[in-house]
Homo-oligomer: A and B are copies of this chain.
Amino acid sequence: MRFGKVICGGIAAVALTSVAFAGGHGGADPSIGARQAVMSLYGYNLGILGAMAKGEVEYNAEVAAATAANFAALAGLDKSGMWPEGTAQGEVDGTRAAAKIWEDQEGFFKIFADQKAAADTLAATAGDGVEALQAGLGGVGRSCGACHEVYRGPRN
């Protein structure tokens, strides 16, 4: 999938932003930048929640609920197109996507489904106090770890 000319200035501008953003990958498949942007936004939202859960930042129910809702929305994104064939670590630069992803698509996407369920629980409870937030993050964190352990390759 390539970015082509698009149908209006506004969309063109956004598409160009994306291309610029993914510039570190040269002419690589834009799905690589997209999946990394998703992981970045996972980290951003979980970082905010994690800091509250640890007491490094004062717990704020409204912020916790909104941030957890953001994470749940991201967890719910359809990611089925984001790991196309030919974009594994070793096949292209700048990715740690393990070959195992393509050997076990069912297992890989099952973790995202599990994570969405954990994210929905987190979103439903993150505003109920710091202990509820901690519990909800635990469930999400297990899905993060389950995926990284199996489907992420070593640092380059």
Contact = CB atoms under 8 A, between A and B. Distances in A.
How many copies are assembled?
2
A142 interface: yes
Contacts of A137: 7-8, 11
Interface residues of A, number: 65
Contacts of A42: 14, 17-18
A47 B4 CA distance: 7
Contact of A30 (B37, B47, B138): B47
Interface of A: 1-11, 13-19, 21-22, 30-31, 33-34, 36-44, 46-48, 50-51, 53-54, 56-57, 63, 66-67, 69-70, 73-74, 76-78, 80-81, 134, 137-138, 140-146, 148
